[in-house]
């Protein structure tokens, strides 16, 4: 399909052709860049036939159940893969029959069908599959086996560059929408015991804590869910108003685990029971020894039993390993010198024509994780393979040779600005530099 790209039609004609109001068209253009009309010398919009068909295409996707933002994501994804949305979308859209699962379908079959619908940005099919799944299996089972494992699979595919970030976000949005609806419809509490479920500061992954909230409510407990990125000050105010029997926090990354540790230490002093879990504690088990609270286990399925045991038997909080004075001093010293180090790194790499975005993002990730490791009292938590670089390489197209130069520059800058107090950081950087 070859459509005329000549800017010919004014806004009035486009409104008559598409049925979309002028304010809506302007909002789409401003927020999403679609459509993209040209302007006359008097700044009036002129649309081509291609623009009109683009608008009709977006309207059709909304009629199928997609939001405008997801419709635009679908358009952009097709363009990125070299396809013309106006030609190829219909042939790539799953038919109604693909959204039907048989009564004998296993949860693995359902998960596969849901993932396929999400990859195709077929919101209607994905929702139909989930509706049928909830009719066949208990809600928690569907959440664990279809949504949680499905999102984990999408994450792995995105990490290995097999799908786009838009496809991963699309699936996450659908899963969260369904999970929020289930939590809102959960029964009233029937058991004694009130708890808070939240994520620490700088933790934005909320699927696991929201699913845990659902599971706990289905088991009769009163749960106050606070969501993502809850700073300690905000939680402190909540404690005074709520007086919970237990606070539960989840962390998926090293820096949010360090923030969780600060919350746990505060709660321990206030004699408020604290439980925690999340991917980072499974991936790096030694961090558990730094948190003054109860580890809820590696599987979300086991957390309800763990919570029941804490509330019923009130076991002794496991022993916590203290952070050494050397690490506390190193943390303070590194924070004082961080800006000088990063400026020095840029001065070194600017002479090598480094890309500003690469250096900025590398500094963000590296400094964040160094601070977290110092707060947790163990630089080896970062690992000699510096896994954070994989994300940089994937998301910011940072070539390995640039990464090598960056690490070398960072080591030289740190050595220039960190004295003996910064030895934990310098020692780790020496090891990473040798293996990069």
Indicate if 175 and 154 belong to the same structural domain: yes
pLDDT tens-place values along the chain, 436 residues long: 456 788 888 988 899 889 999 989 999 998 888 888 998 888 889 988 889 989 998 988 887 667 788 788 888 878 877 778 887 655 344 443 445 677 677 889 999 999 999 999 999 999 999 998 988 889 999 999 999 999 999 988 887 778 888 899 999 999 999 999 999 999 999 999 899 999 999 999 999 999 999 999 999 999 999 999 999 988 888 898 899 999 999 999 999 999 999 999 999 999 999 999 999 999 899 999 999 999 999 999 889 999 999 999 999 999 999 999 999 999 999 999 999 999 999 999 988 887 888 888 888 888 999 999 999 999 998 874 456 555 555 555 666 677 778 888 999 999 999 989 999 999 999 888 777 6
Bridge partners, 45 (sequence order): 39
Indicate if 196 and 297 belong to the same structural domain: yes
For residue 269, report the phi and psi dihedrals to the nearest 5 degrees.
-65, -30
Using an 8 Å Cβ cutoff, are 410 and 340 in contact?
A: no
Is the pTM above the cut of 0.85? no
Indicate if 192 and 306 belong to the same structural domain: yes
Structure tokens at 313: 């038997």
Number of domains in the chain: 4
SS3 149: helix
Each residue's pLDDT tens digit, 374-409: 999 999 988 744 565 555 555 556 666 777 788 889
Point out the domain boundary residue: 157, 183, 209: 183
CATH number of the domain within which 35 lies: 1.10.1660.10
Point out the domain boundary residue: 64, 91, 118: 91
* Closest CA relative to residue 223, chosen from 172, 275, 262, 264: 275
Indicate if 100 and 80 belong to the same structural domain: no
For residue 298, report the phi and psi dihedrals to the nearest 5 degrees.
-85, -20
CA distance 212 to 112: 23
- Give domain status of residue 318, yes or no: no
Indicate if 118 and 81 belong to the same structural domain: no
Domain that holds residue 244: 188-313
Q: Which residues of 305-343 are buried (b: 16+ CB within 10 A; e: fewer)?
A: ebbeebbeeeeeeeebeebeeebebbbebbeebbeebbe
Indicate if 68 and 120 belong to the same structural domain: no
Burial (CB < 10 A; 0-12, 13-18, 19+), residue 359, is buried
Question: CB under 8 Å to 239, separation ≥6 — which residues?
Answer: 247, 267, 270, 272
- Give domain status of residue 87, yes or no: yes
Indicate if 339 and 426 belong to the same structural domain: yes
Structure tokens at 250: 């989840």
Indicate if 177 and 204 belong to the same structural domain: no
* Closest CA relative to residue 257, chosen from 202, 190, 330, 192: 202
Indicate if 143 and 130 belong to the same structural domain: yes
- Give domain status of residue 6, yes or no: no
Give the Cβ contact number of residue 294 at 10 Å.
23
SS3 244: coil
- Give domain status of residue 47, yes or no: yes
- Give domain status of residue 329, yes or no: yes
Indicate if 192 and 253 belong to the same structural domain: yes
- Give domain status of residue 23, yes or no: yes
């Amino acid at each position: 399909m070859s459509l005329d790209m000549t800017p010919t039609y004014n806004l009035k004609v486009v409104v008559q052709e598409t049925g979309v109001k002028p304010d809506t068209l302007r909002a789409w253009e401003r927020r999403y860049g679609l459509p993209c009309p040209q302007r006359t010398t008097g700044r009036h919009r002129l649309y081509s036939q291609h623009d009109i068909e683009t608008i009709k295409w977006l309207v059709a996707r909304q009629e199928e159940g997609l939001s405008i933002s997801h419709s635009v994501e679908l358009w952009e994804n097709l363009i990125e893969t070299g396809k013309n949305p106006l030609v190829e979308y219909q042939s790539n859209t799953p038919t109604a029959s693909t959204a039907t699962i048989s009564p004998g379908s296993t949860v693995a079959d359902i998960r596969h069908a849901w993932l396929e619908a999400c990859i195709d940005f077929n919101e209607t099919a994905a929702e139909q599959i989930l509706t049928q799944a909830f009719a066949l299996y208990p809600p928690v089972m569907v959440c664990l086996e279809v949504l949680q494992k499905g999102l984990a699979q999408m994450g792995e595919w995105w990490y290995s560059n097999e799908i786009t970030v838009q496809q991963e976000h699309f699936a996450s949005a659908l899963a969260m929408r369904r999970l929020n609806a289930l939590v809102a419809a959960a029964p009233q509490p029937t058991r004694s015991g009130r708890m808070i479920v939240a994520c620490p500061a700088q933790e934005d992954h909320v699927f696991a804590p929201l699913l845990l909230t659902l599971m706990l409510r289905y088991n009769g407990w009163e749960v106050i869910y606070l969501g993502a990125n809850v700073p300690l000050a905000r939680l402190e105010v909540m404690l005074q108003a709520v007086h919970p029997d237990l606070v539960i926090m989840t962390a998926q990354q090293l820096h949010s685990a360090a923030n969780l540790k600060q919350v746990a230490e505060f709660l321990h002093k206030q004699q408020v029971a604290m439980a925690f879990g999340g991917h980072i504690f499974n991936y790096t088990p030694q961090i558990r020894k730094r948190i003054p609270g109860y580890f809820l286990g590696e599987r979300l399925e086991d957390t309800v039993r763990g919570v029941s045991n804490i509330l019923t038997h009130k076991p002794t909080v496991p022993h916590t390993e203290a952070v050494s004075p050397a690490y506390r001093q190193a943390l303070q010293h590194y924070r004082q010198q961080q800006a000088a180090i990063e400026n020095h790194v840029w001065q070194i790499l600017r002479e090598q024509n480094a890309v500003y975005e690469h250096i900025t993002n590398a500094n963000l990730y590296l400094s964040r994780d160094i601070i977290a490791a110092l707060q947790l009292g163990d630089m080896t938590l970062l690992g000699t393979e510096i896994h954070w670089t994989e994300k940089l390489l994937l998301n910011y197209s940072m070539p390995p040779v640039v990464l090598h130069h960056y690490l070398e520059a960072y080591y030289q800058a740190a050595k220039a600005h960190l004295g003996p107090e910064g030895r934990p950081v310098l020692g780790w950087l020496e090891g990473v530099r040798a293996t990069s």
